[in-house]
A = this chain, B = another copy of it.
Amino acid sequence: MTCSEFDLIRHFFAGQCIQRVDVPLGIGDDAALLAPPPGRLLAVSVDTLIAGVHFPLDTAARAVGYKSLAVNLSDLAAMGAEPAWVTLALSLPEPDEAWLTGFAQGFFDLASTHSVQLVGGDTTRGPLSITVQVTGFVSQEQALLRNGAQPGDGVFLTGTVGDAGLGLRLYQQPSDASDASNDATMHLVHRLEFPTPRVAAGLALRGCASSAIDVSDGLAADLGHVLTASGVGADIHVDQLPLSSAYRLLASKNDWQTAVSTGDDYELCFTLPAGQETAVLAGLDCTCTRIGEISADSGLRWRDADGQQLALDNTGFDHFTFGKPQ
């Protein structure tokens, strides 16, 4: 990449409007200089999105820019951390003004919403790939971990699950359909491309939830991580799973498998000690549903409305390959 092309790219990322007081030196020297708040820990998460692996090659640039930040903010939400700084390593085959404009718009719109400042980055020529690292703040006593779930705790989910997974399937297999199902498909694809990181919910859960994780690999896999880390089990009632009306319209009847084993919803799954439920849920800014309870018996059990155990596949979501990477 020539210097002028590099400068072109830099230009697209110079226009952010967030300027934080804890960034004494931003982009432009050998390193950024950042002033961490006294007495708090830094929560750090990094994720890579690769074209053709994590998103279809023809995904709109704005969605790619948005989602590359959203998936990282979701990790901070799952720790109860307040987002602050972000870095962006962007590799792309060639400088493409229209693509960069869209990418930057999606990225900075979400960054502004959460008062996150871009403090560094690297832009290289190569196959389309985005690595984002976010840093947030949380006190040691209030950080939400995976290992604190206790028998008797309730298991909760923000929002709805299965939307992104079903949206991806419909995206890959478009069909002639009615207006109603077109609207529903658009809703599900939007959930896939523009997931809402549950930052405010994560902050509200600090010091309350006994464990938390974000649902990136599917509820079965991610709740499984919590159960393993906590040394407990869980009974989950599939008829209590929060499903969107679009999901209910377009999924096969009683398709619990898609809801529990597809990923990319970026909802929070967390546990609450008995008795705290009403007060905590009243403080959340999004819908939240009780889906089951933690048990001393290890393992993750899916139960129908009659309490009978269902055989669902609990293996994790493997990112689809959308064609040969660029």
Interface residues of A (CB under 8 A from B): 1-3, 24-25, 28-36, 38, 41-48, 50, 52-54, 75-76, 78-79, 81, 85, 87, 89, 91, 119-122, 124-127, 129, 131, 133, 136, 138, 140, 143, 145-146, 212-214, 229, 315-316, 318-319, 321, 325
Contacts and interface: CB of A to CB of B under 8 A. Distances in A.
A36 B31 contact: no
Given A29-B145, A126-B129, 15 more contacts: A25-B145, A30-B78, A30-B213, A32-B44, A33-B41, A33-B44, A38-B38, A44-B85, A45-B120, A46-B133, A124-B319, A125-B321, A126-B127, A127-B127, A133-B133
Contact of A87 (B38, B43, B46, B120): B46
With most chain B CB atoms within 10 A of its CB, the pick from A126, A129, A212 is A126
A146 B35 contact: no
A122 to B, nearest CB: 5
Identical chains in the assembly = 2
A48 B146 contact: no
B3 A316 contact: yes
A179 to B, nearest CB: 38
Contact of A48 (B24, B124, B212): B124
B87 A44 contact: yes
A44 B88 CA distance: 12
